[in-house]
Structure 1
Amino acid sequence: MPGCPDEGDHKAPKHRGLNDYYFFCTNHIKEYNKAWDFFSGMSNSEVQNHMRESRYGDRPTWKHTETSAEEELLKAARNSYFYGGEKSQHDEKKHNDNKRKFAGDTNTPEYEAMALMGLEPPVTLDEIKTRYKKLAKKYHPDLNRDNPNAEELLKEINMAYTILKLALKDYKELQEKQ
């Protein structure tokens, strides 16, 4: 402030653009901050719009829809593998044939992970990694900005990969003990 003997080492914006500043002493910055109104001169709709945009750091967001084409393809592949078709058109014979492919219980996370990734036993770690890399590239959110569910798909793929990797590790450890 003109005439103030104290050093002005506190920065305060001159306007809403936040690119030009005043420098005040401690006492004067307190006064300025009490009087400062960022939204001064803005209409209610402008204030609401600014608050909505700043909620996400002024970064773009995408609307979430129920399902995307890619997710539907993955679900169809999973359903085809589990049920031999759409769940609503469940074919008992095909379902039982698919169940016989596995020696154990088909209602396991490992079974579901293989179906999600489009794999059939027996699988090797290299096969799991190769399929994971292919799916991760295909469904990565950065490459599918128009797909609001890409992030969730990638999370499912990551989880399936982790489940299969750990199951294979456990299987190998069990084999070594025998």
Structure 2
Amino acid sequence: MEAQGRLCAEPGCPEPGEFRAPPLEGTGRVGDGPPPFRWLCLEHVRAFNSGYNFFKGMSPDEIHDAQRPFAGWERETRAFNATGGADRPPRWADFSDPLDAISARFRERMKDRAERKDGKPLSGKDREAMRTLALEIDADRMALRKRYSELVRRFHPDRNGGDRGHEAQLQEVIAAYQHLRSAPAFA
């Protein structure tokens, strides 16, 4: 490894300083950060490593505690409960939402799961077909027919100068109408 012009930090050593080592105690601290490293040659870094003792200054009891296999695991872990180990989510009432960011997103998601006012059931396929036709959740049979005829007029090639670019959308509209026409919510 190139030393990039650094010499070994040991006094009188002309070898390049290629290996990092911690600074000598009480030297080199700059501000609040850690002190800069010393750069040593291979011979001096080997001597430093052979003389390094992690446990220097510790009592036998402190050494024993540091060497235990489960050292550091003494802190308490969270309790698992009957809900599959997951914590309960926070209540929405605990949040302040002045910009209506959370509520608006929630309402948007729940709009697709809303129930009809007349109590007629909607399946997932019914809801998907209603999205295709851009119908409200409480649309009746008359609104279904009206929206279907609007979309057929818009997408049919005979009505827009022979342009067949909307043919796929027309097929989706027809399939959605055929499905909803026989759905219990529109019976």
TM-score tier by shorter-chain length is 0.3 to 0.5
Structure number with larger C-alpha Rg: 2
Greater share of helix residues, 1 or 2? 1
Q: TM-score if structure 2 supplies the norm length?
A: 0.36
1 or 2 for the larger relative contact order (CA 8 Å, sep ≥6)? 1
Q: TM-score if structure 1 supplies the norm length?
A: 0.38
